[in-house]
Copies of this chain bind each other. A is one copy, B any other.
Amino acid sequence: MSEQPAVLERYRAEIEAELRSVLAGRQSPLYDMMRYHFGWTDEKGNPRTGPAGKALRPTLCLLACEAVGGEYRRALPAAAAIELVHNYSLIHDDIQDDDLERRHRPTVWSIWGKPQAINAGTAMRFLANAALSRLEDHGVPLEKRWRIQRLLDEATLRLIEGQYLDISYESRFNVTVSDYLKMVEGKTAALIACAVEVGALLGTDDNGLIAGLRRLGRSLGLAFQVKDDILGIWGQKQDTGKPVTSDIRRRKKTLPVIHAMQKARDGQKEELVNIYQNGTLDDDCVARVLGILEATGAQAIGQEMTDRFCREAIEAVDRLALLPQGKRDLTALASFVLERRY
């Protein structure tokens, strides 16, 4: 039921080929750090193969393009650009969170140090703009290229604003669900909405349809992050690559914890805040946090919220004038976001 839908495989090889050709010929060791991050090489620069990321965002971009009747190949440079933006944010995020592992491998900063990882991340974000400029080779008119560039740049600002909030919540204990959603709008939903909008823009001139798909992307992005928060606590290591309860150990103020801090009865609320303020977080603390989350129904609340955003997305698919295959694919992706275990 939570098997990866076929659509996540459909464009994978072409997305990777596009990414590789954006990086091809770039000589600075900065780009070697990026090739490592994408899993194409080991830390010495030797080629390797291994499981890749989900490529959800570029897939959504290409899918949106096809769903409105466009030729997806034309959107490949934009799909690559969006994947570059996403991965820039992962490289910086790992630095900011002191995370040592990503996708079962050492993070870029843990190998090359934070100063150079900052450089690699920011440079990757500018490679995204270089990738976009390849739309010209596909005959995309300048007006559209400019509009897409603006969308991608603006989504990046939203993403950073969300990342700012996420970090600022670490030292706050009165974060509300509404604060949380504001953060997720930026950190996750902005780029996913942008991916869908840009794909649509490359397949149609119908601005109403483009705006509808953007809203669909936003709902999907919100659903995706809430589900991520559930998996960060209750996901299994063999699925997510992270130990169960990893977000508790890292003291992340994800939705279940925010919900519990708002809803727990008095003694438990203070206990939770105390644990999160405390210097060390041992197995006993984790067990107590899990107990409080259960007592407040935090997992169910998270799953209900994911359901709601996924339903919004699926209803949007139904309403919009999309090709039948596109409707099926987008619905399958929304169901995957809802049911996924990783």
Q: Does residue A56 face the partner (Cβ distance < 8 Å to B)?
A: no
Would you give the 0/1 interface string for A83-118, flagging 1 where the beta carbon is closer than 8 Å to chain B?
000000000100111000000000000000011101
Are A164 and B127 in contact, with the CB atoms below 8 A? no
Are B143 and A126 in contact, with the CB atoms below 8 A? no
Q: Among A97, A119, A130, A167, which residue has the most Cβ atoms of chain B within 10 A?
A: A119
Question: Which residues of chain A from 164 to 199 have a CB within 8 Å of any chain B CB?
Answer: 164-165, 167-168
Are A157 and B130 in contact, with the CB atoms below 8 A? yes
For A52, list chain B residues within 8 Å (CB).
none
A198 to chain B, nearest CB (A): 16
Are A156 and B126 in contact, with the CB atoms below 8 A? yes
For A253, list chain B residues within 8 Å (CB).
none
Q: Does residue A125 face the partner (Cβ distance < 8 Å to B)?
A: yes
Which of A146-154, A215-223, A286-294, A332-340 lies at the interface?
A: A146-154
Give the number of residues in A that approach B within 8 Å (Cβ atoms): 38
Q: Does residue A123 face the partner (Cβ distance < 8 Å to B)?
A: yes
For A125, list chain B residues within 8 Å (CB).
122
Among candidates B30, B153, B161, B163, residue contacting A160 with C-beta atoms closer than 8 Å: B30
A163 to B125, CA, bound (A): 16
Q: Does residue A49 face the partner (Cβ distance < 8 Å to B)?
A: no
Q: Does residue A133 face the partner (Cβ distance < 8 Å to B)?
A: yes
A121 to B160, CA, bound (A): 10
For A157, list chain B residues within 8 Å (CB).
123, 126-127, 130
A121 to B118, CA, bound (A): 10
For A29, list chain B residues within 8 Å (CB).
164, 168
Binding site for B on A (CB under 8 A): 28-30, 92, 95-97, 114-116, 118-119, 121-123, 125-127, 129-130, 133, 142-143, 145-146, 149-150, 153-154, 156-157, 160-161, 163-165, 167-168
Q: 6 A-B residue contacts at CB 8 Å?
A: A28-B164, A92-B118, A96-B119, A121-B122, A122-B122, A127-B157
